Structure 1
Amino acid sequence: MDHVDTETLGSALRLWRDRLSPVDVGLPRRTGRRAVGLRREELAELAGLSVDYVVRLEQGRATSPSAQVVAALARALQLHPGERDHAYRLAGLQPPAEKTISTHVPPGVQRVLARLTDFAVGVFSADWTLLTWTPAWAALIGDPSERTTVQRNLVRAVFTTPEARLSSWPVTAEDPGLPPALVADLRAALVDYPRDRGLAALVAEMREGSPRFAELWDQGAVGRHVSSRKTVQHPVVGPVTCDCDVLTVPGSDVRLVVYTVPAGSPEEEKLEFLRVTGAGLSPATG
């Protein structure tokens, strides 16, 4: 009888890593590269994990990754929903249940992000938790990798006092329609995801802790996202005023928040300086 190797999470990770090229994830193309696909170091950086942990996962020495780790790896590896669920099962976990908010970012969206490296783009889930972002986003408003999942929620950032900032430095907005739009989004999400305990807990937390949220919720606030202007008080280049747009992805409940500035403007020069130098990426500057 032929020997059949049993698939493990580690072996699957290696296969998925090998099929991605650096260009697929927004890394520069380099000549003379020997590695097929992504290096472990590159996967670790994309997933927000240590290289050592990725090595131990692939070698089978780390056998109990959390659901958050598997979700991060699935996003970094641009897995399709079926592959993502397979990764959960290989890790001994149940895939995300139906009628709960997904943290999955479709591969097509990730490929778009990989080609939008000059733009500050953040991808949010249905409860407005930041899932992934471009380097330009981190350079403009601060690196979100230093924040917990709870701290990456835009609803908390808008409604809590003192402000639980999603950004590393102040961002002021000329957008009075944002609070009711966020409340309306959460109300709709409760209908779409009735089994999501985290969403229900977020709504309860905001109703108890934010009088403004409670008022809008009790009024049945209805709002929609429109283009707005925001000014980032950047510690390196000073104030940067941007246009902010919210884009939805058909067939998916992720939202893209995009900051742009006019071509040839002083604001563009500031963003180009941040892009080239990486200034502002260090938490120490916040």
Structure 2
Amino acid sequence: MDKREFGAFLRSRRERITPADIGVAHGRRRRTPGLRRDEVAQLAFISTEYYTRLEQARAPHPSREVLQGLSRALRLSDAETTYLHRLAGVEPAAAPGPPRVVRPSITDLITRLPQAAAIVVSATYEVLAWNDLACALMEDFSALSPRERNLARRVFLGPGAQGRRLYGVSDSDEFARTCALHLRAASARYPDDPETTALIDELCSGSAEFAELWNSRDVVTRPMLCKTFHHPVVGPITVNCDPLDVADRDQRVVIYTAEPGSPSEEALRLLNVVGTQRLDVPG
């Protein structure tokens, strides 16, 4: 444990938080920038004496529970929490389940892509965010429950799953295999997450195909760089498929773009106008 750096890091994080951040009046007699040691100790549920010794590099090795309390009290980011644990010589506890909160900057990013369809998926293939063109190309995710927005569940257990397949995509068999491989990796990262375990159990019991893929124990996959959606309104749309990892959230931004000047680009432009309306259905 690097006690000196550990204490200096605690002090630097304490000094950046204002009393107003925790609902405390600043007061005229406050001499220190940020919070006082006793205020951090109270928020972390430890004694002021012990916290002072931690900052002064005089305390024994802190427990994982103390580190978690300090991270919460000092409002540390995920990266800062990891750094604090490693200064203490403790590996951070694994996340209990796949993160499902999308950073606002990522949501803003996909809404700024008017000529590209984009979605954000969790480690277990739940669609967490999307832009308007993705709804027009695939389906209106806002009209679905979180359970219904899980692409793995839809590809293996949805209507016509064995006939194939999801959104009329040309590579749906390869997508199904990729889902199984990614879910195996997710199950290793989140072995204690009941939702991940329940999803895999549901897929194994409800789909012989998934059970076979799961029991193969394959863990290597290759990226799907191009696919064709057979859209009921505008016909086939061939797009490049680029998954971008959001490492700190264990999420992927999947962006679908058409080649410039191609019929598929024209089809995407038409979908931008049509939106989620079904022109092939009588009014």
Q: Same fold (TM over 0.5)?
A: yes
User: Retained in 1: the 8 A contact 2:233–2:279?
Assistant: no
Who is 1:199 aligned against? 196
Who is 2:129 aligned against? 132
3-state secondary structure, aligned to 2:249: coil
- C-alpha distance in 2, partners of 1:274/1:233? 13
Who is 2:73 aligned against? none
Give the residue type in structure 1 aligned to 2:190: Y
- Between the two proteins, the alignment pairs up a number of residues equal to 192
Identity %: 35
- C-alpha distance in 2, partners of 1:231/1:194? 35
3-state secondary structure, aligned to 1:217: helix
1:122 to partner: Cα distance: 0.6
Unmatched runs of 5 consecutive residues or more in structure 1: 8-79, 83-96
Regions of 4+ moved over 6 Å: none
- C-alpha distance in 2, partners of 1:182/1:115? 27
1:228 to partner: Cα distance: 3.7
Who is 2:277 aligned against? 282
1:103 to partner: Cα distance: 0.7
Could you say if the C-alpha distance between residues 226 and 192 of structure 1 is closer, same or farther in structure 2, counting changes exceeding 3 Å? Answer: same
Residues 33-182 of structure 1 mapped to structure 2, 5 A cutoff: 98-160=95-157, 162-163=159-160, 170-174=167-171, 176-182=173-179
Who is 2:180 aligned against? 183
3-state secondary structure, aligned to 2:266: helix
3-state secondary structure, aligned to 2:247: coil
Unmatched runs of 5 consecutive residues or more in structure 2: 1-19, 24-75, 79-93
3-state secondary structure, aligned to 1:244: strand
CA distances 1:36-88 after superposition (whole Å, capped 9, x unpaired)? xxxxxxxxxxxxxxxxxxxxxxxxxxxxxxxxxxxxxxxxxxxx979xxxxxx
3-state secondary structure, aligned to 1:230: strand
- C-alpha distance in 1, partners of 2:187/2:248? 18
Who is 1:260 aligned against? 257
CA distances 1:239-273 after superposition (whole Å, capped 9, x unpaired)? 22222232212322111122111001111111112
- C-alpha distance in 2, partners of 1:132/1:280? 17
Give the residue type in structure 1 aligned to 2:217: G
3-state secondary structure, aligned to 1:255: strand
- C-alpha distance in 2, partners of 1:138/1:255? 17
Who is 2:246 aligned against? 249
User: Retained in 1: the 8 A contact 2:110–2:119?
Assistant: no
3-state secondary structure, aligned to 1:121: strand
1:140 to partner: Cα distance: 1.5
User: Retained in 2: the 8 A contact 1:142–1:169?
Assistant: no
- C-alpha distance in 2, partners of 1:220/1:150? 25
Who is 2:211 aligned against? 214
User: Which structure is larger by alpha-carbon Rg, 1 or 2?
Assistant: 2
1:169 to partner: Cα distance: 8.0
